[in-house]
């Protein structure tokens, strides 16, 4: 058992938690170092930590049962969301002189909004997780889950919607109001 695994077991055994710990085998690298391929630490019924090494930690908060979507619903909502965002940003990039070197490309579940000197946004579907992932030159990466109850994509760590963040960041870039409510699944 690696030093990290022993540390986590010791740390978690001192706290009361309602879950389990599961480690898989380690991967030996050519230079002799060893890294855990995957660790799953279930702290409770609704909070899980995924670890791949000391520097990487992904948190996932499981959705409430009412917010779980089936694959067909996810596919439909995701496609509608990305289509409507592609149309909106294609219009913005085409009509804004500051984005004259920009381009909007949408295909195979990936929407790329290249703003030239202002960076690029990438919004893509992650079907295995039933999420939409955003990579922003301003705020970095975020993972959005679809909320059936709210009919929008929510970042679980701050409770804000995908469209809310895009509205704030693009209004800052444009210096004027932006209406994202015409996009599908866009509660702000």
Which domains are assigned to the chain? Answer: 3-61 (no CATH), 65-174 (3.30.920.10)
- Tokens for 132? 């939409």
What would the pLDDT profile of 153-163 be if each residue is shown by its tens digit? Answer: 999 999 999 99
Mean pLDDT of the chain: 78
What is the predicted pLDDT for the residue at 4? Answer: 57
Least confident of 8-12, 14-18, 69-73: 14-18
Interval 59-99: pLDDT, tens:
444 345 446 789 999 999 999 999 999 999 999 999 999 99
Q: How far apart are CA 73 and CA 83, in angstroms?
A: 15
- Mean pLDDT along residues 21-41: 45
Residue 17 has pLDDT above 50, yes or no: no
Residues 6+ apart with CB under 8 A from 171: 177, 178
Greatest pairwise CA separation for the chain in angstroms: 59
């Amino acid at each position: 058992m690696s030093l990290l695994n022993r540390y986590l077991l010791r740390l978690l055994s001192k706290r009361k938690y309602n879950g389990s710990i599961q480690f898989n085998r380690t991967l030996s690298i050519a230079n002799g170092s060893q890294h855990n391929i995957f660790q799953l630490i279930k702290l409770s019924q609704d909070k899980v930590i995924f670890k791949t090494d000391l520097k990487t930690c992904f948190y996932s908060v499981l959705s409430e049962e009412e917010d779980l979507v089936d694959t067909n619903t996810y596919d439909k909502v995701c496609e509608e969301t990305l289509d409507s965002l592609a149309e909106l940003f294609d219009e913005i990039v085409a009509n804004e002189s500051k984005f004259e070197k920009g381009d909007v490309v949408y295909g195979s579940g990936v929407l790329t909004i290249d703003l030239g000197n202002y960076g690029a946004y990438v919004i893509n579907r992650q079907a295995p997780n039933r999420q939409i992932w955003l990579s922003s030159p301003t705020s970095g990466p975020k993972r959005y889950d679809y909320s059936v109850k709210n009919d929008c994509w929510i970042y679980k760590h701050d409770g804000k919607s995908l469209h809310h963040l895009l509205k704030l960041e693009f209004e800052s870039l444009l210096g004027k109001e932006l209406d994202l409510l015409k996009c599908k699944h866009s509660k702000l």
